[in-house]
Amino acid sequence: MRIFQTAALAAAVLGASVIGSAGIAGDTPSTPGAKVYFVNLKDGATVSGPVKVIFGLSGMGVAPAGIEKEGTGHHHLFINRPELGKGPDGKDEFEANIPADDNHKHYGKGQTETTLKLKPGKHTLQLVLGDQNHIPHNPPVVSDVITITVK
């Protein structure tokens, strides 16, 4: 009986470490000094729609989602929502998959620009670099939140 208990405990510990190492969120390191930014938009800009958004990245490279390659990630665009870490899930957002919905656009094919159809009015935008699993890097590579007005 003692051998069975020891074996069961060892299997549980090994299983937890394998599962944990394969899926711990926020484990992908970013390159020190990496930055993501808007190339063609500035905070406070007034633009006509549709809105072209060009993503800038320095200090890291772009790779499609699902491709694990050191020093890379792919772009996500947050639209009309609080900055990363201050959204509905708070600090947990730093360690979770970025959702895919109207407020969170994924560019998992490695795209570096997009065109948005935004209604006239004020809109907030933030770029977030995600790893191969759509999880922010550690530390996160994020732009400042900017506000634009669409005519």
- Per residue in 40-78, pLDDT (tens digit) is 999 999 999 999 999 999 999 999 999 999 999 999 999
Q: What is the pLDDT of residues 116-135, one digit of tens each?
A: 999 999 999 999 999 999 99
Whether the predicted pLDDT of 81 surpasses 60 = yes
Whole-prediction pTM: 0.82
DSSP string, 43-77: TT-EEPSSEEEEEEEESSEE--TT---TTEEEEEE
Q: Are 51 and 64 in contact (CB under 8 A)?
A: no
The single residue listed with the structure tokens 């809109």 is 123
Give me the domains of the chain, ranges plus CATH numbers.
2-150 (2.60.40.10)
Q: What percent of the chain has pLDDT over 70?
A: 83
- Look at residue 8 in the predicted model and tell me its pLDDT: 39
